[in-house]
Amino acid sequence: MFFRLITSLVATAAILTAAPQAAVAQQKPKAHAKAAADMLPTQVLLDRAGFSPGEIDARGGRNTHTAIAAFEKATGTKIADALAASTDPATITYTISEQDAAAPTVPKIPEDMMEKAKLKRLEYTSTLEMLAERFHASPNLLKGLNSSAKFAAGEQITVPNVNVVSEAEGKPLPNIVVRVSKQQSALTVTDASGKVIMHAPVTSGSQHDPLPIGSWTVTAVARNPSFNYNPDLFWDADPKHAKAKVPPGPNGPVGVVWIDINKPHYGIHGTPEPGTVGHTQSHGCVRLTNWDALKLAAIVGKGTKVEFVE
DSSP 137: B
User: For residue 198, what are the β-bridge partners?
Assistant: 189
Q: In the chain, where are the structural domains located?
A: 19-160, 177-309
- φ, ψ of residue 56 in degrees (nearest 5): -75, 120
| CA–CA separation, 3 and 44 (whole Å) | 31
Superfamily for domain range 177-309: L,D-transpeptidase catalytic domain-like (2.40.440.10)
- Please write the tens of the pLDDT for every residue from 89-125: 999 999 999 999 999 999 999 999 899 999 999 999 9
Non-local (6+) Cβ contacts of 173 within 8 A are 191, 197, 299, 300
Burial 151-173 (b: 16+ CB within 10 A, else e): beeebebbbbbbbbbbeeebebb
- The answer to pTM > 0.85 is yes
C-beta neighbour count of 280 within 10 angstroms:
13
| CA–CA separation, 112 and 167 (whole Å) | 28
| CA–CA separation, 52 and 45 (whole Å) | 9
| CA–CA separation, 251 and 33 (whole Å) | 29
> Could you tell me the pLDDT band of residue 3, with boundaries at 50, 70 and 90?
very low
The answer to whether residue 36 scores a pLDDT higher than 60 is: no
Mean residue pLDDT of the chain comes to: 87
| Percent share of the chain, pLDDT over 90 | 73
The answer to whether residue 179 scores a pLDDT higher than 50 is: yes
Query: Coil, helix or strand for 186?
Result: strand
CA 33 to chain centre: 24
DSSP 7: -
Q: For residue 167, what pLDDT is reported?
A: 86
Find the DSSP H helices in 122-210.
Answer: 127-134, 139-145
C-beta neighbour count of 115 within 10 angstroms:
13
> Could you tell me the pLDDT band of residue 18, with boundaries at 50, 70 and 90?
very low
